[in-house]
Structure 1
Amino acid sequence: MTSPLIQKIYTDGACSGNPGAGGWGVVVYFENGTVQELGGGSPETTNNRMEMQAAIAALKFFKDSGQSKVIALYTDSEYVKNGITKWLPGWKKKGWKTSAGKPVLNQDLWEQLDELDSPKVEWRYVRGHSGDPGNERCDVIARAFSQGKMPQLKMPDLQVSLTLIPNAAEVVMSETPSSIDAIEVVPREVRVEQLRNLVDMLHMADEIASKGYLISSSELADLMDINANAVTSRGDHWVWRNWVVSRVRREGNQILWQLERVD
């Protein structure tokens, strides 16, 4: 049977704490309308590394497909897009040094991306949390893995495949969207540590609410572990977990928010 042609691939990464527990997600769209999803997590990483790991997984998937037709690869990370399309040649000429003479961060992953990149891949930037279905789904997958959860992942057939990524303590999982139960592959100690991080975050939110502290959009985004644009796009009054989040006022170029416990 001929494998379906890949049309486009979306990638995204997430991190709780940055550095902290992270996850990444990939959504592959085929020309026949089917979808395949990949994801994984790492107990101690950064958001940029998860964005890069997602792109690496996408490029590996495309390479393994043997497809010769050009595809579009979407990322909401300008760091990844600019790095692979603009900065890499200069870094390599300078011996993996920046223009300031400092070592390039995440060189190990940049080298993998450089090796896997292909003229058949068109790199495209998509704004995160802007309503693009592929990007939003990748975000859901990445955040689930960053929280030690195992989301149900779609694939075109009934197989379940697990692939361990060497030296990264990460798991790639593809699964049908049907009633197959999620397979527990994240080590218990990793899940416990991620739970501790979550509890610390919730305690912090409680203290901010009880003390009546006002926090900026970027600070609120860090607390919630989301993009700052996703905070302002939600409106002036909305619910997050156990708190009502309200826009209070603007100070200079900053919007200030208040949390109020609702339970």
Structure 2
Amino acid sequence: MSSPTDPAGPLVFRSAPVVRLVIHVDGSCFGPAGPGGWAALIDRLDAQGHVVDRVVMTGRESPSTNNRMELAGAIAALAGFPALPATIVSDSRYLVTGITQWVGPWRARGWKNGRGRRVANRDLWRELDALATGRDLEWVWTKGHAGDPANEAADVLARAAAGGA
């Protein structure tokens, strides 16, 4: 039997105060500038690490790109729960590496990359940076389509949001 914190298992709803979030995000896009969708599965945890409940968020933008949708999922989740510490899990190296390594230098250079060009998706990076600054966040990369149940569920929801079943 799976534990209450196992994303694949049954959720046990508790009436304890929520102290931390575990957020699985994913983005999807059909074509290089087609309809895009994003999803965030947000497990709200109590002090013992048990899942209190799960919130599911999805959204759509068209036209879009996969990278924009990856960012949009993280932004929506963090904006929805601004005061809580969180672990954000994504199969997007663009998102995880971007927020943990690239954003600081981009900000210092006026949102330009190392070649002096404007950072792609600058509007979303700036918004994500503002939501993440000063907050207790852990960013975790997971391999996509490798059996992580919450990542797989976020993928299905993001594709559906983009307009694919």
CA distance 1:40–1:148, change in 2 (3 Å): farther
The answer as to 2:140 corresponding to 1:124 is yes
**Aligned residue type for 1:99:** G
Determine the structure 2 residue equivalent to 1:25. 39
Determine the structure 2 residue equivalent to 1:145. 161
**Aligned residue type for 1:29:** D
Work out whether residues 16 and 146 of structure 1, in 8 Å CA contact, stay in contact via their aligned partners in 2.
Answer: yes
The answer as to 2:94 corresponding to 1:75 is no
Q: Secondary structure at the match of 1:20?
A: coil
Determine the structure 1 residue equivalent to 2:107. 92
**Aligned residue type for 2:154:** C
Determine the structure 1 residue equivalent to 2:121. 106
**Aligned residue type for 1:93:** A
Q: Which whole-Å CA distance do the structure 1 matches of 2:106 and 2:21 have between them?
A: 31
Q: Which whole-Å CA distance do the structure 2 matches of 1:57 and 1:99 have between them?
A: 28
**Aligned residue type for 1:11:** V
**Aligned residue type for 1:125:** W
Q: Which whole-Å CA distance do the structure 2 matches of 1:95 and 1:141 have between them?
A: 35
Determine the structure 1 residue equivalent to 2:58. 39
Work out whether residues 71 and 120 of structure 1, in 8 Å CA contact, stay in contact via their aligned partners in 2.
Answer: yes
Shift of 1:129: 0.7
5+ unaligned residues in a row in structure 2: which ranges?
Answer: 1-14
Deviation beyond 2 Å, 4+ runs, structure 1: 1-7, 30-34
Q: Which whole-Å CA distance do the structure 2 matches of 1:142 and 1:44 have between them?
A: 15
2:150 aligns with one of 125, 129, 134? 134
Q: Deviations over 1:15-51 (max 9, x none)?
A: 0012100000000112243211100111210000000
Higher alpha-carbon Rg: 1
Q: Which whole-Å CA distance do the structure 2 matches of 1:121 and 1:51 have between them?
A: 17
Q: Deviations over 1:163-215 (max 9, x none)?
A: xxxxxxxxxxxxxxxxxxxxxxxxxxxxxxxxxxxxxxxxxxxxxxxxxxxxx
The answer as to 2:76 corresponding to 1:57 is yes
5+ unaligned residues in a row in structure 1: which ranges?
Answer: 150-263
Q: Deviations over 1:42-89 (max 9, x none)?
A: 1210000000000101111220xx33xx32110111111111111111
**Aligned residue type for 1:42:** E
TM-score, length-scaled by structure 2: 0.81
The share of aligned pairs that are identical, in percent, is 39
Shift of 1:6: 3.5
**Aligned residue type for 2:56:** E
Work out whether residues 6 and 28 of structure 1, in 8 Å CA contact, stay in contact via their aligned partners in 2.
Answer: no
Q: Which whole-Å CA distance do the structure 2 matches of 1:71 and 1:92 have between them?
A: 23
Provide the alpha-carbon RMSD of the alignment: 1.7
**Aligned residue type for 2:147:** G
